[in-house]
Amino acid sequence: MNIHTYEKAWLIAAMLLIVGFIATITYGSIGLGIAMVDDEGGSIDPNEVFDHEEFSDPGVQQVGEDEYEVYVRAQTFTFVPSPIEVPAGSEVTFHVTSPDVIHGFSVVGTNVNTMVIPGEISTMTVEFDEPGEYGLVCNEYCGPQHHEMSGQLIVTPEEEFDLTELSAEAPDEVATGEEIEVTATVTNGQLEDLDTTVTAEIGDVTLEEDVTVAGDGSEEVTFVVDSSDLGEGDHDWTVTVDDYEESGQVTVGTDESDENDDTTDTEDDNE
């Protein structure tokens, strides 16, 4: 078999091209540290996704200084949670799975992109250096409303980020002269202590208390107001911590029965 000299030259060039391509990809893996989605995430019975300790209530968790884990359920035809909020300057590990069909999980305009396959957990670690807002899109056909399956990923400036949750409780009605107790529970999902101020406005009375919530802990603050200071009638109350706010209404006077059973629970978290 005689191969023409020119074609021999091309054969060598083609081999160089192929080896060069493989070398570039290898450089990306080793030199730049780019990792492939692989079998590290493990498997999961799709029927048990809703009972799984993380995927039943998916969301953002802090696991170390500037290190976060995000659990995401990709399901027909939505991402849970969405928007996902993480701080800039952090290393975020996503765990994504599906309870139903195959989906995609693509962070628009980035190289964060994976298949989501029922039975498997896709695990990816990403460093977010800068704040920004990204779209999330399912890029694998998953059914008739596939095109509606989108979401949002918000990378907030580090100093604005928290994993604080606030809930508040107050009676709906109290008799005139009794005390009104407003109880605020502040939960700190981050690992560092949270120094903050809880403010309660009950009617025209404003109360403040500084609290320190331990990392991965919660604190309860109770504000007490004498209802006779407010007078009979309906009074709005609001509890605020940083950007979080809970509110309700308390009625002073009128019916005095079963006052202790009627309470307003409010809850908010940062989702």
For the bound state, the minimum distance from the C-beta of residue 271 to other proteins, rounded and expressed in Å, comes to: 15
Q: Exactly one of 141, 158, 177, 192 binds other proteins (CB under 8 A); which one? A: 141
User: Residue 133, interface with other proteins (CB under 8 A)?
Assistant: yes
Strands 90-97 and 67-75: parallel
Structure tokens at 39: 């079998």
The binding track of 75-104 with respect to other proteins, each residue x by CB under 8 A or -, is xxxx---xx-------x-x-x---xxxx-x
- Binding to other proteins (CB under 8 A) within 21-80 occurs at 21-22, 24-25, 28-29, 32-43, 45-47, 53-54, 61, 63-64, 67, 69, 75-78
Which of 189, 184, 188 is closest to 199 using CA atoms?
184
Report how far residue 164's alpha carbon sits from residue 161's, in angstroms, rounded to the nearest whole number.
Answer: 9
Backbone φ, ψ for residue 86 (5° rounding) = -135, 155
- How many binding residues for other proteins (CB under 8 A)? 100
Report how far residue 137's alpha carbon sits from residue 72's, in angstroms, rounded to the nearest whole number.
Answer: 13
- Binding to other proteins (CB under 8 A) within 146-175 occurs at 146-148, 150-152
User: Residue 191, interface with other proteins (CB under 8 A)?
Assistant: no
For the bound state, the minimum distance from the C-beta of residue 11 to other proteins, rounded and expressed in Å, comes to: 7
Report how far residue 247's alpha carbon sits from residue 168's, in angstroms, rounded to the nearest whole number.
Answer: 8
Beta partners for residue 104, in sequence order: 115
Q: Which is nearer to other proteins, 79 or 237 (CB)?
A: 79
